[in-house]
Amino acid sequence: MNSISKQTKKVNQKDLENRVKDMYKKVALHPEVEYHFEMGRKLAERLGYPSSTLDKIPKEAIDSFAGVGYYFDFAQLQNGEVVLDLGSGSGMDVFYAALKVGKTGEVIGIDMTKEQLEKSSILSKEAKFNQAVFHESYIEELPIMSDSIDAVISNGVINLSSEKTKVFQEAARVLKIGGRLAISDIVTGVKLPESISCDATLWAACIGGAMQIDAYKQLIEDAGLKIVEVKDNPYAFISNNAQGATKEFGIKSVSILAIKK
Ligand SMILES: C[S@@+](CC[C@H](N)C(=O)[O-])C[C@H]1O[C@@H](n2cnc3c(N)ncnc32)[C@H](O)[C@@H]1O
């Protein structure tokens, strides 16, 4: 039994889903509240998002940005491309990608939390991002045709899934040959003890579900993608508890670029 199937057995999936939805419903509706993780424009700028591009994105989407890294330097999005964002939240990365692919491109955001989808869809209409669409779905079962996407992007989401194998298999399925997976996510230096990985609250907080980096990279390669670049991101959790776990287990944020062979 590999570490992922062990993880899947130990956390109650429905409970986890409800906690994750509850957490990100609050993030969509109340970005002004202090969470154990940083959010918003200051975070985005520190991670590497150029302020000149952020200036063209609806402020409310940036306020609820809860990503963990910057990967658009890896993604190298081109005019006219089709992009899929796994766990699009309030939409900041979808809008960012939409500016890169232009009016002839398309960016599809997928999320399971209604309040996030409602917020991103309203902002998209108001700001006339006609090339951006949002769908309610799970990232483990994408409502997307095989071999149809130029770039799959994702920010701070895959750690939340208890079925990471499926997520990467689905990403690989929908990508065109030569297409890119460009993501930022939370990983660990060592395998987390069960006291942390079985705690649904810590899981919903982007800590409990974090996977050891080598095992995480192996899942990507096993799905048929070739990893070409990995970098660490300047990301830190805010709460003392989270900071303690970060030190003890080498929890960190990385960006990864992989290509479909
Ligand atoms: C940490 S937030 C990141 C949102 C966005 N990527 C950003 O950078 O602001 C995680 C998002 O992933 C969504 N999510 C988590 N697990 C998911 C799943 N299995 N399927 C679809 N969406 C999921 C949550 O609803 C939430 O909006």
The Cα 162–Cα 143 span in angstroms is: 19
pLDDT band at 3 (very low <50, low <70, confident <90, very high): very low
- Among candidate residues 199, 197, 214, 257, the one with its CA nearest the CA of residue 7: 197
**Token match 């889903």: residue?**
17
Q: Quick one: 88 exposed, middle or buried, by C-beta within 10 A (0-12, 13-18, 19+)?
A: buried
Kindly state if the Cβ of 67 falls inside 6 Å of ligand 1. yes
User: For residue 160, how far is its CA from the centre of ligand 1 (angstroms)?
Assistant: 8
% of the chain residues with pLDDT over 90:
80
CB atoms within 10 A of CB 33: 9
| Distance separating alpha carbons of residues 37 and 25, to the nearest angstrom | 15
Question: Nearest residue CA, atom 22 of ligand 1?
Answer: 111
- The finding on whether 29 has its CB within 6 A of some atom of ligand 1 is no
CATH architecture, domain 3-260: 3-Layer(aba) Sandwich (3.40)
On whether the CB atoms of residues 78 and 99 are closer than 8 A, the answer is no
For residue 83, give the amino acid letter.
Answer: V
| Contact (CB, 8 A) for 171 and 146 | no
**pLDDT score for 10:** 63
Residue type, 207: I
Instruction: Tell me how far the alpha carbon of residue 117 lies from the centroid of ligand 1, in angstroms.
Output: 10
- Going from the Cα of 118 to the center of ligand 1, the distance in angstroms, rounded, reads 14
Q: Give the integer Cα–Cα distance in Å for 83 and 180.
A: 10
Q: Dihedrals φ, ψ of 136, to 5°?
A: -85, 120
Distance 72 CA to ligand 1 centre (A): 18
For ligand 1, whether the C-beta of 65 sits within 6 Å is: yes
pLDDT digits (tens, 9 = 90+) for 102-131: 999 999 999 999 999 999 999 999 999 999
116 lines ligand 1 (CB under 6 A): yes
Sign of CA dihedral 131, 92, 58, 102: negative
> Which atom of ligand 1 is closest in space to residue 206's alpha carbon?
1
Taking the CB of residue 240, how many other CB atoms lie within 10 A of it? 9
Give the model confidence (pLDDT) of 129-141 as tens digits: 999 999 999 999 9
Q: Give mean pLDDT, residues 84-93.
A: 98
Residue nearest to atom 11 of ligand 1 (CA): 87
Check pLDDT > 80 for residue 8. no
**pLDDT of 196:** 85
CA of 112 to the centre of ligand 1 (A): 7
- For residue 85, which atom of ligand 1 is closest to its CA? 6
From the number of C-beta atoms within 10 Å of its C-beta (0-12, 13-18, 19+), residue 1 rates as exposed
Residue minimizing CA distance to atom 8 of ligand 1: 67
Nearest CA to ligand 1 atom 14: 87
DSSP the chain: --HHHHHHHHS-HHHHHHHHHHHHHHHHH-TTS--SS--SHHHHHHHT--HHHHTTS-HHHHHT-------HHHH---TT-EEEEES-TTSHHHHHHHHHH-TTSEEEEEES-HHHHHHHHHHHHHTT-TTEEEEE--TTS--S-TT-EEEEEEES-GGG-S-HHHHHHHHHHHEEEEEEEEEEEEEESSPPPHHHHT-HHHHHTTSTT-EEHHHHHHHHHHTTEEEEEEEE------SHHHHHHHHHHT-EEEEEEEEE-
% of the chain beyond a pLDDT of 70: 96
pLDDT at 5: 40
Is the CB of residue 23 below 6 angstroms from any atom belonging to ligand 1?
A: no
